[in-house]
């Protein structure tokens, strides 16, 4: 990638949110949208500083981030392993596919009460609900990636005496990496959505979702907006983290 292309990418990446914020600012200042419910972005800076100095904003962000990353690891690692197995071996795929399809369709926030009964209301339940919310998404994307690999590669590996473990590590995993990272990128977004929703229901235990909900209950619109903007920034940074990992694991893949 040329330096000119890289500069253009960075410029466009920064420009998009600035344009959105500029439009929001103009509409709010001109009162085309109600500034009570849509305060101008520039008016939120003082609220942000207040939340940093007087509230535990950084603590809430840290709590949510730990819950997301912990649950993500708990769900993604076994999800990749099971997805590789389902893609390579048809009996496993046929046996588990109906279960995976059925459980994937269940809204994961709906099973939060069950998770809290089984694992309690502490941090463990937060990790588990995030893991469950992304597990089958990663499984299905990984399996699809393996199935898209040219069968010739698997046949050659078997003819050369490759063991099942070697099929995993030398054929299925490298070949399915693009699909795996697509699944991981989607899973990271789902993890953020689920943890914010979970924190809505467990307000006393902190987190960015709890902060947003508490702000809504007292009609502190500016604090709520700061929380929403921070949630968006967290989503972008977490997606960026997945992109960095993708570049590390697939250095040969350069975007057009």
**197, 198, 191: which is closest to 235 by C-alpha?**
191
CA atoms of 223 and 218, how far apart (whole Å):
10
In this prediction, residue 81 carries a pLDDT of 92
Structural domain boundaries, residue 159: 58-249
Task: Decide: 75 and 132 in contact? Cβ < 8 Å.
Answer: yes
Average pLDDT score, the chain: 88
pLDDT in tens, 30-45: 988 888 889 999 999 9
- Per-residue pLDDT at 176: 86
Residue 53 domain-assigned (yes or no) = no
Residue 41 in domain: no
Lowest mean pLDDT across 9-18, 42-51, 71-80, 89-98: 9-18
Pick from 252, 246, 247: nearest CA to 180: 246
Question: Does residue 4 form part of some domain?
Answer: no
In a domain, 188, yes or no: yes
Q: Cα–Cα distance between 120 and 89 in angstroms, integer?
A: 37
- Share above pLDDT 70 across residues of the chain, in percent, rounded to a whole number: 98
Residue 202 lies in a domain: yes
- Residue 120, number of CB atoms within 10 A of its CB: 10
- Supply the pLDDT for residue 234: 93
Please report the pLDDT score of residue 254 as a whole number: 56
pLDDT of residue 111: 87
Domain count, the chain: 1
Instruction: List the CATH number of the domain containing 93.
Output: 1.10.3720.10
Widest pairwise Cα distance in the chain: 72
Domain annotation covers residue 38: no
Residues 138-164 have pLDDT tens digits of 999 999 998 888 878 777 777 777 777
47 in any annotated domain: no
Percent of the chain topping pLDDT 90 = 45
Cα dist from 217 to 72, 161, 182, 192, 210, whole Å: 30, 64, 37, 22, 11
Residue 189 counted as domain residue? yes
pLDDT value of position 1: 58
Q: What is the per-residue pLDDT for 212?
A: 93
**Tens-place pLDDT, residues 168-221:** 778 888 888 999 999 999 999 999 999 999 998 887 788 999 999 999 988 899
pLDDT in tens, 88-128: 888 999 999 888 888 888 888 888 889 989 998 888 999 99
How far apart, in Å, are the Cα atoms of 61 and each of 32, 43, 127, 225, 228?
32, 21, 16, 15, 12
Q: Look up the pTM and report it.
A: 0.87
Give pLDDT, residue 233: 92
């Amino acid at each position: 990638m040329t330096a000119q292309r890289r500069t253009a990418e960075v410029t466009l990446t920064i420009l998009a949110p600035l344009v959105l914020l500029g439009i929001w600012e103009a509409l709010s200042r001109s009162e085309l949208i109600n500034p009570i419910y849509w305060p101008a972005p520039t008016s939120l800076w003082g609220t942000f500083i207040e939340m940093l100095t007087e509230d535990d904003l950084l603590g809430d962000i840290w709590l949510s981030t730990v819950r997301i990353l912990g649950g993500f690891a708990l769900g993604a690692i076994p999800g990749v392993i099971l997805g590789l197995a389902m893609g390579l071996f048809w009996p496993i795929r046929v046996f588990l596919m109906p279960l995976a399809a059925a459980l994937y369709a269940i809204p994961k926030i709906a099973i939060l009460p069950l998770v809290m009964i089984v694992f309690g209301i502490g941090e463990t339940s937060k990790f588990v609900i995030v893991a469950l919310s992304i597990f089958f998404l990663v499984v299905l994307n990984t399996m699809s990636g393996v199935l898209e690999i040219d069968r010739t590669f698997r046949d050659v590996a078997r003819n050369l005496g490759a063991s099942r473990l070697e099929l995993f590590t030398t054929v299925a995993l490298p070949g399915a990496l693009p699909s795996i990272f697509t699944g991981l990128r989607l899973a990271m977004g789902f993890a953020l959505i689920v943890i914010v929703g979970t924190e809505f229901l467990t307000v006393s235990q902190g987190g960015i979702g709890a902060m947003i909900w508490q702000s809504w209950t007292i009609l502190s619109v500016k604090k709520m907006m700061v929380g929403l903007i921070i949630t968006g920034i967290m989503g972008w940074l977490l997606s960026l983290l997945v992109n960095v990992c993708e570049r590390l694991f697939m250095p040969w893949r350069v975007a057009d």
